[in-house]
Amino acid sequence: MLDETVVNQVEAFLEKKKLSPIKGLLPNHPEDIANLITRLELPSSKLLVFRLVHHDKAIDVFEYLSTEEEEKILGSLSSIEIKGLLNEMSPDDRTELFDEMPAELVQRFINLLSPSERKVAVDILNYPQESVGRLITPDFVQLFEDMTVKEALSHIRDVGLQKETIYHCYVSDKAKKLIGIVSLKKLVLSLPDIKVSEVMFPEVIKVEVSADQEEAANIFKKYDMIALPVVDKSNQLLGIVTFDDLVDVLEEEATEDFEKIAGVLPVDKPYMDASFLSIVWKRSFWLILLVIFETVTALVMIHHQHNIQQLVALTFFVPILVAMGGNTGTQSATIVIRSLALGDIEVKDFFKVIARESLIGLSIGLTLAIVGSLIVALLQNNLRLSIAVSISMGLTIVLATTVGASLPILCRKLKLDPALMSGPLIATIVDVVGILIYLKIAIFILGL
């Protein structure tokens, strides 16, 4: 953990233009150095500290910076320095940086890459957004089935330092099709003269390059992997995706889902980095739509204003019904959305989920109906109104759990993000229908 005093000391030396003492203050771990650079206020200070980092650590430090910080530093470096940085970066981190840049700037930087790195960069950028292909790195150890264990270990020694991981090696046939996987441990403990094909594990867990990143994340989670091989449709090995890249995907997906559930358009930047107007718009968009939808509630009450005027007490309990329906619907939606994300339920489970949530809603509804009737009896001493409120509350809660459970699954069926069924949207739907149910039941029971 970076100490705040270190940041203050570095800034003090920068003000005095004393750079030599700063080298002694730099933390050992590249991530801590990146954190230090991020916390400096002036862009010129960030660049100066970055230039003080030893060249052996510079790439690692650069890759730990956010894409915004990387862009700022690149904008202050010479073409030769930029060329060195970009060529040394891992392909997946470089792709993430390019994704955040204007197209003309990306083209300029791609031209600075060596022919081999340029081909890798262009190939990865040609894969669809959100696909596994955008995360792959070709820095993996590839072995061939006819190699001996001795030859395989020799190959790992030759190329291992340049690879992302050497703990698992991928075995291909002569056509470079993936046929197996073998761990470094297995190779070290095997006899040197036997073939790699004899010690490899043939059942390889893999993913196609066009698959969604979230699918790859679920595979990682299910099988507790540290790297996942990526193949094309003909099963040729294209690269691997490592766990650290998928952690970022899981974090982004979870953040996006939380924002959607809360009725906020996804914000693609950290809270403090996002522009004020952008946040206002993204938070206002759903609220504007919800105001329009909630107008239906007002229309329902206007339509029944004569009945309401006959018994004003009807309006006293509208907020309770609205709150209970909205809260219950949001509960159901949140549980179902999360279960869909984790793979605990699928679209085929639609009727099972609806049946289960309806029974849960019925049980909760009966309980709250009893509580609601007692509250009305105490406040108004009106038996018929008490019965109307209790029945309405029970039916509204059953409706809320059913709607909250069904809409996210229907979204998944239509290939939409289930998180689009946000809590505020479901609450609004339940508000409109719940108030209509309440007024109709009240009119019938009270004879209005």
pLDDT in tens, 209-243: 999 888 888 888 788 888 899 999 999 999 999 88
In this structure, how many other beta carbons lie within 10 angstroms of the beta carbon of residue 185? 10
Rounded to an integer, what distance in angstroms lies between the CA atom of residue 386 and that of residue 372?
Answer: 8
pLDDT of residue 274: 65
**Per-residue confidence band for 196, with pLDDT thresholds at 50, 70 and 90:** very high
Q: Tell me the domain boundaries of the chain.
A: 4-130, 142-241, 276-446
C-alpha torsion 72→76→79→82, nearest 10: -40
**pLDDT: which is higher, 290 or 379:** 379
pLDDT of residue 185: 94
4-130 has which fold? MgtE N-terminal fold (1.25.60)
Q: What is 142-241's CATH superfamily?
A: CBS-domain (3.10.580.10)
112-120: average pLDDT: 90
Q: Which CATH class is domain 276-446?
A: mainly alpha
Highest mean pLDDT, choosing among 116-125, 212-221, 308-317, 335-344: 116-125
pLDDT beyond 70 at 89: yes
pLDDT beyond 90 at 339: no
Chain center to CA of 443:
48
281-303: average pLDDT: 71
Q: In the chain, what percentage of residues exceed pLDDT 90?
A: 21
Rounded to an integer, what distance in angstroms lies between the CA atom of residue 197 and that of residue 125?
Answer: 34
pLDDT beyond 90 at 151: yes
Give the closest residue to 278 by CA, choosing from 259, 254, 258, 291. 259
Task: Give the tokens for residue 370.
Answer: 């009893």
Give the closest residue to 288 by CA, choosing from 425, 411, 436. 425
**pLDDT: which is higher, 193 or 104:** 193
C-alpha torsion 388→391→395→396, nearest 10: 50
142-241 and 276-446 share one fold: no
Q: Are 216 and 132 in contact (CB under 8 A)?
A: yes
Task: Give the tokens for residue 42.
Answer: 């002036």
> Mean pLDDT over all residues of the chain?
83
